[in-house]
Chain A
Amino acid sequence: MKRFSLFFVLCSPLLAADPVESDFYKITTFETPKETALEVGSIDLLPDGRLIMGTRRGEIWTVSGAGSSDPSAVSYKLFASGLHEVLGIAYNPKDKNIYATTRYEVTRLQDVDGDGQADVFDNVSDAWGVSGDYHEYAIGSRFDKAGDLWVTLCLTGSFSSVTPFRGWALRIKPDGTMVPTCSGIRSPGGLGFDAEGEVYYADNQGPWHGSCTLQHLVPGSFQGHPGGNEWYALAPNMGPRPIDPSPENYQGDNKRREARVGGDPGRMVKERQRIKQLLPPAVYLVHGKIGNSASAIICDTSAGKFGPFMNQLFIADQSHSNLSRVFLETVNGIKQGVVFPFRLGFASGLIGGRMDGEGRIFTGGSDRGWGARGGKPYCFEKCEWTGKTPFEVHEMRAKADGFELTFTQPIDPKTAGDLKSYSMREFTYAYREAYGGDEIDEILPSITAAELGADGQSVRLKISPLTQGHIHELHFEGVRNTAGHPLLHTVGYYTLNEIPAK
């Protein structure tokens, strides 16, 4: 497959260089305050256009001028310091205060004397445990449509939960009440909303997760890692504790070294039939290909100011220092969709991110702990649309017998209608306790038809077979637009939790 695509690129008949990501999306790296290492952990917007930014070093900065076309117009003011890792920051339009999610509490910060620095630090909720283990990160959201904050809590290490609600998503009501909301979380890297305000988090590869994932936080759901399920005892609103994933899946780690009995480890599809609260990942952010360490979730709500991908999600990655793009749909009541590569080349590992009303993504982070391809120890950056539309697959939807692709530009009928322009591979990950996992159960289906849509910008692919629970890796190297250009990115990974009836 790889050899094939390389060959194709080399033989491309174009004289001019093929388009590259930076032709369409520009990254600007800002200078940051000399007196600190601005390890961005979280970003939100203030109503006056400034940004509010929380860092891993426990500082909160207000940032002015970052939207300017002149990067030197940026300026910073320290709003608060000394907090324990600010991995969630939110401006509350109701009380006009800043809320920070830190290691052990959600803190409301007020600047009573108006000098630009917080002087009142109120504990809004500290209703979860922290044992001192490094892994017990707390990631916070912005305010959701009901006015609640969400907090996702890493497990204690990869496997266990030694103190209440490690491995859970919680909602914090405006009066500070904490509502246990979802179980089954392993190691969240970011929390975000889609255009309708539905809440998602990004989990990281490890036990019960063959890959990083984008997961839909449906209240009451179990997100897959049973390590924190003993806290159902403290969460009567959640109903009974889900049954554990199949015992034969316990193998390979946590000192359970006995040989696997019962054969092959389970699959998400099979376990969903047994465990009624289990919600599969909406999208597998395929390990090593899309990223290795998923973090911020950013929705394009700019109504076209960020280019053609309105309402789609952009997922940041610490390790790969990149953004990927996700299109989601709901099939049989469950979220699922496709992830495409989007933009490489950020200066450090990305952790926090936020888009403003003008369609500018502000993001940043640091490489520490896990390393990052970006190369810098930390960064604060901006990603903007240049105004040129890239030729990309715009949406990929599941159908009963295949997929429908829409494109950002009119397509060349000859190449887009040619079966040889496409190839597909299906695989999944074992749903098991051992750390990570290979791409398994590979199927190479037949592509039996590529029918052009009447709009000149879409194609219906017929695939046999479609496999429920598998990731459908579609390559479309051969497709050209009417100008003869290839697609900017030639692969998408669709997670087929459900096969639609039509």
Chain B
Amino acid sequence: MRFLLLFLLAAAAVTLNAADKAPSAAADLGSVKVIMLKTLTAQMKYDENEIIVRPGEKVKIVFENGDDLPHNLVFCQPGTDTMTMAMKQMEKPEEALKRNWLPDDKRILLHSKMLNPHEKEELIFTAPEKPGDYPYVCTFPGHALTMNGKLKVIPMGQGLKDLKFALFLGNWKMLPDFSKLKPHREGVVPNNLIDIKLDDYKNEFGVVFTGKIHAPRKGSYRFYIAGDDGVRLLIDGKKVVEYDGIHPAGTIKEETVQLNEGDHELRYEYFQAGGQIAVFAAWKGANFDITPLSSWRPAGWEKGAKAKKKAEYAPIPIVVAGEPVIYRNFIQGAGNRAIGVGYPGGINIAWSAESMNLALLWKGAFMDASLHWNSRGGGYQSPMGFDVLKPTGEVTPAFFIAEKPDAVWPVWDKTKRYEGFVWKGYTLDAKRSPTFRYTWQGVEIEESFSATGNGNKPGGNPTLIRSIKITGSLPANAWYRLGAGPFEKKEGRFVAKDRLPYSIIAEGAQMAGQNLVIPAKAGTLTITYQWAQ
């Protein structure tokens, strides 16, 4: 037992030292920061959409293409519209093909080759001195919308100044009011890092650290703390963040505070009941990265309170082969009673059995079930493919009674149901394509879809045709909303403006304010959805 304990303590010390000395150890090897970046299988994504480096830092990016399609990695000047840059190649596709889909653009700072599936390339470079967000993107046609990220060049912030400590003795279960207690001992902390270095006290004491911190400009700043046991951080006498009580040090708490430019008084209160001793503090500003204010840092501290939250699973793609596939689960943007349908040819929808409406449609891969088929199965899963369209509001019904069609349509409340709708179910036809059935205002309605073209290929002209059969007479002033937001009428089609371009075609449709509507009455409504070419 004693041996084991000693062993654990020794291991902890090594870890701490390693954390402390990491920069200098790396310096011996030329101080290269190594970053692994991978493309995800069948998801049109990089596995990280943010890479953080320091100004002037030497960086090695090991870029691996884990997908079954070719991808590259292209870094650009801050402010580059990478989507437009990638799209522009399509004006002269033969030339672009000769350049292997690398745009001829001065804003490109650095790029990989176009990697074939499962190839790897190392990019070694010195990070720019100028802080900023340097976008990166895959410039293969059609990939840029989802395959992008930011290389963030961001310096560390300043540390504390004039750090002092006051030691108090006492047996507490919660942080006491130290201002009413008399310190047992006081002193300065020469290296200005919050730390507990007491040989004579192991249990039942408290320490208050006070020092100055300089906010480089007016704005919001985020403070992070962790401790074993209770900790509290105050700025200019006001509590910012607290994690009181007796607990281990693993959990990081964080809060934001507004500060004016200049020096501020930082006060960090800590008490130790018994057992392990640990204190952690850090801060972050708009123009500098998270910066530790203590010697010790818990694992994953760079990510703040999110450090432990990230759960990742290997993707479980739901494969769509010869016939439509259904996936009922929590789909991001389609609510709690979502029914995903993947049609052959890379065209997919999510229909909602609470709004009785098409919630989403998208191209490419259908759904990744790994979020729901691992662990307890919670959370909303986003579509696996790309170019996700949400023609109307989130999980809102299309049918609505309003005097004027520019009315405000109902808004989703996920704890409530929409009145007037009864969900009946769906029937699969011979090709296993579903027809959804429901009633609205007692009138029977059936919806079916057919998909043409190909959403997996550039230029595949994917098209979704939706047919809504209304059997019975609807009340006066009944409207059917096909789209929400700005649309422009061009050659008989309504083209979405100021967002991912797509068009809706429906006979008799009209714009009314932000609503693209059609009077709802008995008969069959046909709506065609097309992604922009």
Q: Could you tell me which A residues sit within 8 Å of B by CB distance?
A: 37, 56-58, 81-85, 102-105, 107-108, 113, 118-123, 126, 129-135, 162-163, 368-370
- Taking a contact as CB atoms under 8 Å apart, the answer to whether A81 and B423 are in contact is no
Within 8 Å of chain A (Cβ to Cβ): is B373?
A: yes
Q: How distant is B427 from chain A, measured CB to nearest CB, in Å?
A: 5
Q: How distant is B337 from chain A, measured CB to nearest CB, in Å?
A: 5
- For chain B, the bracket of interface size reads 20 to 34
In order of increasing CB-CB distance, the 8 nearest A-B pairs are: A134-B378, A82-B326, A369-B376, A122-B425, A84-B328, A119-B428, A163-B415, A123-B425
Complex Cα spacing A37 to B370, Å: 12
User: What are 9 A-B pairs with beta-carbon distances under 8 A?
Assistant: A105-B423, A119-B427, A121-B426, A123-B425, A132-B330, A163-B414, A368-B374, A368-B377, A369-B375
- Taking a contact as CB atoms under 8 Å apart, the answer to whether B325 and A82 are in contact is yes
Q: How distant is B279 from chain A, measured CB to nearest CB, in Å?
A: 23
Q: Which of A57, A130, A134, A135 contacts B337 (CB 8 A)?
A: A130
Q: A82-B325, A130-B337, A368-B374 are in contact. Are A123 and B415 (CB under 8 A)?
A: no
Complex Cα spacing A105 to B379, Å: 19
Q: Which of A81, A121, A368 contacts B376 (CB 8 A)?
A: A368
Within 8 Å of chain A (Cβ to Cβ): is B448?
A: no
- Taking a contact as CB atoms under 8 Å apart, the answer to whether B375 and A162 are in contact is no
Within 8 Å of chain A (Cβ to Cβ): is B336?
A: yes
- Taking a contact as CB atoms under 8 Å apart, the answer to whether A85 and B377 are in contact is yes
- Taking a contact as CB atoms under 8 Å apart, the answer to whether A83 and B328 are in contact is yes
Using A104-B353, A132-B414 as known contacts, list a sample of 8 further A-B pairs with CB atoms less than 8 Å apart, ordered by residue number in A: A56-B373, A82-B328, A131-B415, A132-B378, A132-B380, A134-B376, A162-B415, A368-B375
- Taking a contact as CB atoms under 8 Å apart, the answer to whether A129 and B373 are in contact is no
Within 8 Å of chain A (Cβ to Cβ): is B53?
A: no
Interface SS majority for chain A: loop
Q: How distant is A372 from chain B, measured CB to nearest CB, in Å?
A: 13
Within 8 Å of chain A (Cβ to Cβ): is B424?
A: yes
- Taking a contact as CB atoms under 8 Å apart, the answer to whether A134 and B425 are in contact is no
Within 8 Å of chain A (Cβ to Cβ): is B470?
A: no
Within 8 Å CB of B207, what residues of A? none
Q: Which of B336, B340, B423 contacts A123 (CB 8 A)?
A: B423
Q: In chain A, what residue has the closest Cβ to B329?
A: A84
Complex Cα spacing A146 to B201, Å: 71
Q: How distant is B131 from chain A, measured CB to nearest CB, in Å?
A: 39
- Taking a contact as CB atoms under 8 Å apart, the answer to whether A102 and B328 are in contact is yes
Within 8 Å of chain A (Cβ to Cβ): is B290?
A: no
- Taking a contact as CB atoms under 8 Å apart, the answer to whether A57 and B328 are in contact is no
- Taking a contact as CB atoms under 8 Å apart, the answer to whether B377 and A131 are in contact is no
Mask: chain B, 428-471; 1 = CB below 8 Å from A; 0 = not: 10101000000000000000000000000000000000000000
- Taking a contact as CB atoms under 8 Å apart, the answer to whether B425 and A121 are in contact is yes
Mask: chain B, 4-23; 1 = CB below 8 Å from A; 0 = not: 00000000000000000000
Mask: chain B, 64-94; 1 = CB below 8 Å from A; 0 = not: 0000000000000000000000000000000
Q: In chain A, what residue has the closest Cβ to B342?
A: A82
Q: Which of A57, A118, A135 contacts B373 (CB 8 A)?
A: A57
Within 8 Å of chain A (Cβ to Cβ): is B509?
A: no
- Taking a contact as CB atoms under 8 Å apart, the answer to whether A369 and B377 are in contact is yes
Mark out the residues of chain B between 337 and 389 whose CB falls within 8 Å of any chain A CB in the assembled complex.
337, 339-340, 353, 369, 373-380
Within 8 Å CB of A126, what residues of B? 337, 353, 423
Q: Which of B328, B376, B427 contacts A58 (CB 8 A)?
A: B328
Within 8 Å of chain A (Cβ to Cβ): is B327?
A: yes
Q: In chain A, what residue has the closest Cβ to B429?
A: A119
Q: How distant is A271 from chain B, measured CB to nearest CB, in Å?
A: 30
Within 8 Å CB of B375, what residues of A? 368-369
Q: A119-B427, A369-B377 are in contact. Are A131 and B336 (CB under 8 A)?
A: yes
Within 8 Å CB of A82, what residues of B? 325-328, 339-340
Tell me which of A82, A126, A131, A370 has the highest count of chain B C-beta atoms within 10 A of its own C-beta. Answer: A82
Within 8 Å CB of B340, what residues of A? 82
Within 8 Å CB of A58, what residues of B? 327-329
Q: How distant is B288 from chain A, measured CB to nearest CB, in Å?
A: 34
Complex Cα spacing A272 to B46, Å: 58
- Taking a contact as CB atoms under 8 Å apart, the answer to whether B337 and A81 are in contact is no
Q: In chain A, what residue has the closest Cβ to B426?
A: A121
Complex Cα spacing A119 to B426, Å: 8
Tell me which of B353, B375, B376, B424 has the highest count of chain A C-beta atoms within 10 A of its own C-beta. Answer: B376
Mark out the residues of chain B between 310 and 330 whose CB falls within 8 Å of any chain A CB in the assembled complex.
325-330
Q: In chain B, what residue has the closest Cβ to A118?
A: B428
Complex Cα spacing A224 to B327, Å: 36
Complex Cα spacing A132 to B334, Å: 11
Q: In chain A, what residue has the closest Cβ to B434?
A: A121
Q: In chain B, what residue has the closest Cβ to A81?
A: B326
Within 8 Å CB of B374, what residues of A? 368
- Taking a contact as CB atoms under 8 Å apart, the answer to whether B369 and A57 are in contact is yes
Within 8 Å CB of A132, what residues of B? 330, 335-336, 378, 380, 414
Within 8 Å CB of A104, what residues of B? 336-337, 353
Within 8 Å CB of A122, what residues of B? 424-425
Within 8 Å CB of B329, what residues of A? 58, 84, 103
- Taking a contact as CB atoms under 8 Å apart, the answer to whether A56 and B427 are in contact is no
Q: How distant is A152 from chain B, measured CB to nearest CB, in Å?
A: 17
